[in-house]
Structure 1
Amino acid sequence: MKWEDLQSSENIEDRRGGGPMTGGGPRMGAGGIGLGTMVILGLIGWALGVNPAILIGGAQMINNMRQEREAALPRQEAPRQSAPTDQLGRFVAKVVGSNEQVWSQVLPEQKGVRFQPPRLVLFNGYTQSRCGTAQSAMGPFYCPLDQRIYLDTSFFRDMQRRFGGGGDFAYAYVISHEMGHHIQNLLGILPKIQRAQQLASSRSEANALSVRAELMADCLAGVWANNANKLKPILEEGDIEQAVASAQAIGDDRQQRATRGYVVPDSFTHGSAAQRTQWLLKGLRTGSIDACNTFAR
Structure 2
Amino acid sequence: MRWKGRRGSSNIDDRRGRSGGPRLRMPRGRRARTGGGIGLTGLIIVAGVAWLMGINPLTVLSQLDGGGSYSPDFQSQAPQSAANDETAQFVSVILADTEDTWSAIFSDLGGDYPEPTLVLFSGSVSSACGYASAATGPFYCAADDKLYIDLSFYKQLADQLNAPGDFAQAYVLAHEVGHHIQNVLGILPEFHKIRRTLSKTEANALSVRVELQADCFAGIWAHYAARQRGFVEAGDIDEALNAASRIGDDTLQLEAQGYVVPESFNHGTSEQRARWFRKGFEAGAIDACDTFKAAQL
**TM-score category of the 2 structures, normalised to the smaller one:** 0.7 to 0.9
Q: How does 1:52-131 map to 2 (within 5 A)?
A: 82-83=25-26, 86-109=85-108, 111-131=109-129
Instruction: Determine the structure 2 residue equivalent to 1:65.
Output: none
Q: How does 1:1-297 map to 2 (within 5 A)?
A: 1-19=1-19, 82-83=25-26, 86-109=85-108, 111-200=109-198, 202-297=199-294
TM-score, normalised via structure 1 length = 0.77
Kindly provide the amino acid, as one letter, of the partner of residue 6 in structure 2: L
Q: Is the 8 A contact 2:122 2:150 kept in 1?
A: yes
Aligned residues: percent identity? Answer: 46
Deviation at 1:81, TM superposition (A): 8.4
Q: Structure 1's 244 and 159: CA in aligned 2 closer, same or farther, altered over 3 A?
A: same
Counterpart CA distance in 1 for 2:12 and 2:237 is 26
Q: Structure 1's 212 and 14: CA in aligned 2 closer, same or farther, altered over 3 A?
A: same
Q: Is the 8 A contact 1:3 1:94 kept in 2?
A: yes
Counterpart CA distance in 1 for 2:256 and 2:178 is 28
Counterpart CA distance in 2 for 1:113 and 1:6 is 26
Kindly provide the amino acid, as one letter, of the partner of residue 193 in structure 1: F
Counterpart CA distance in 2 for 1:5 and 1:162 is 30
Kindly provide the amino acid, as one letter, of the partner of residue 284 in structure 2: G
Counterpart CA distance in 1 for 2:264 and 2:224 is 34
Counterpart CA distance in 2 for 1:134 and 1:222 is 27
Q: Is the 8 A contact 2:14 2:121 kept in 1?
A: yes
Kindly provide the amino acid, as one letter, of the partner of residue 159 in structure 2: R
Q: Structure 1's 106 and 149: CA in aligned 2 closer, same or farther, altered over 3 A?
A: same
Deviation at 1:283, TM superposition (A): 0.5
Considering Cα pairs closer than 8 Å and 6+ residues apart, tell me whether 1 or 2 has the greater RCO.
2
Counterpart CA distance in 1 for 2:223 and 2:266 is 26
Deviation at 1:242, TM superposition (A): 0.7
Kindly provide the amino acid, as one letter, of the partner of residue 6 in structure 1: R
Counterpart CA distance in 2 for 1:156 and 1:168 is 9
Instruction: State the secondary structure of the residue aligned to 1:18.
Output: helix
Q: Which has the higher helix share?
A: 1
Instruction: State the secondary structure of the residue aligned to 1:121.
Output: strand
1:50-96 Cα deviation digits (max 9, x unpaired): xxxxxxxxxxxxxxxxxxxxxxxxxxx99x68317921110010000
Deviation at 1:112, TM superposition (A): 3.3
Counterpart CA distance in 2 for 1:187 and 1:6 is 29
Q: Structure 1's 159 and 81: CA in aligned 2 closer, same or farther, altered over 3 A?
A: closer
Count of aligned pairs: 238
Counterpart CA distance in 1 for 2:88 and 2:117 is 14
Counterpart CA distance in 2 for 1:99 and 1:168 is 15
Instruction: Determine the structure 1 residue equivalent to 2:46.
Output: none
Deviation at 1:229, TM superposition (A): 2.2
Q: Structure 1's 165 and 81: CA in aligned 2 closer, same or farther, altered over 3 A?
A: closer
User: Which structure is larger by alpha-carbon Rg, 1 or 2?
Assistant: 1
**Runs ≥4 residues deviating over 3 A:** none
Q: Which runs of 5+ in 2 are unaligned?
A: 28-81
Deviation at 1:172, TM superposition (A): 0.4
Deviation at 1:17, TM superposition (A): 2.5
Q: Is the 8 A contact 2:225 2:232 kept in 1?
A: no
TM-score, normalised via structure 2 length = 0.77
Q: Structure 1's 286 and 15: CA in aligned 2 closer, same or farther, altered over 3 A?
A: same
